[in-house]
Amino acid sequence: MCTLVVQITRQMAKIKFNLNRGLKNFDKSIPQSIYLRYTFGRKVNFQVSTGFKILAEDWNFENELPKNRSHVPYTELKRFINDLKAHFDKFDTENLSKGVIPNRDTVKIHYNSFFKTNEIKKDKPTLLSFIDDYIKRPRTKIDVTEGTIKTYKSFYNLLKLFNTEKYKIDFHDIDDNFYSEFIKWCESKNYSKNTIGKQIKELKKFMRRAVKEKLTDNTAFLDFIVLKEDVQNVYLNRYAVWQ
């Protein structure tokens, strides 16, 4: 047993995070998958995509972490990588104490167990945190213009203000009562009907995305009417003046 433990100690396990399987030649203009690579001497070389993507210019190759930039989900990615490292540190410690040499199958099982454990522990996003995260996703991933991002941010700030001034809101609060209260609140701030309608439109857009990503099953927003000014009456009034 002692000989085996010494052997394991010498074959120190290593875990690395890199882009595009660590290959140097790739298209740096598009987001690349972040890969985990776990090696144990020459016996194990396990590599798998974590499911996250990032642009090369937003990745710190030396520290193997994302760069702290406004459009990068820095906190989420850093926490994920650090938690995954800790998960494998525990794996190595347990193997060392038991005198067990890992193989590719046990490494894969341990990797998958990380996600099963964190499905329970992971905090479910709120409506506001979801919108904030969506805005910060890589531009090429959500494929929108800077103008659209500006509209998203304006809506997010307005909804956050409502959340502060009126009452706390989450996915399940988006119902007919919220719809009425939100419109009254916007009117109290002298927003035009068209402006209010645009905010309702953005809300419906984000709620549809949340339903698609299985963050909520609330579909009451589908009945929300997007308010618009009566353009026809305005036109008729102007026509009457010209007469």
The per-residue pLDDT for 200 is 97
pLDDT at 1: 46
Q: Give the model's pLDDT for residue 138.
A: 72
pLDDT at 5: 46
Give the pLDDT confidence of 182-196 residue by residue, as tens digits: 999 999 999 999 999
Q: What is the DSSP letter of 175?
A: S
Comparing C-alpha atoms, which of 32, 17, 22 is closest to residue 140? 32
Q: Would you state the structure tokens that stand for residue 148, as one six-digit string? A: 């659209």
User: What is the reported pLDDT for 2?
Assistant: 47
Distances, alpha carbon 43 to alpha carbons 3, 52, 100, 116, in Å: 17, 27, 13, 26
pTM for this prediction? 0.48
The label of the residue with tokens 């499905």 reads 119
- Where are the chain's structural domains? 2-121, 127-236
Q: What is the pLDDT of residue 231?
A: 52
Residues of the chain with pLDDT under 50: 1-10, 120-121, 141, 234-243
> Residues near 170 by Cβ (< 8 Å), separated by ≥ 6?
126, 127
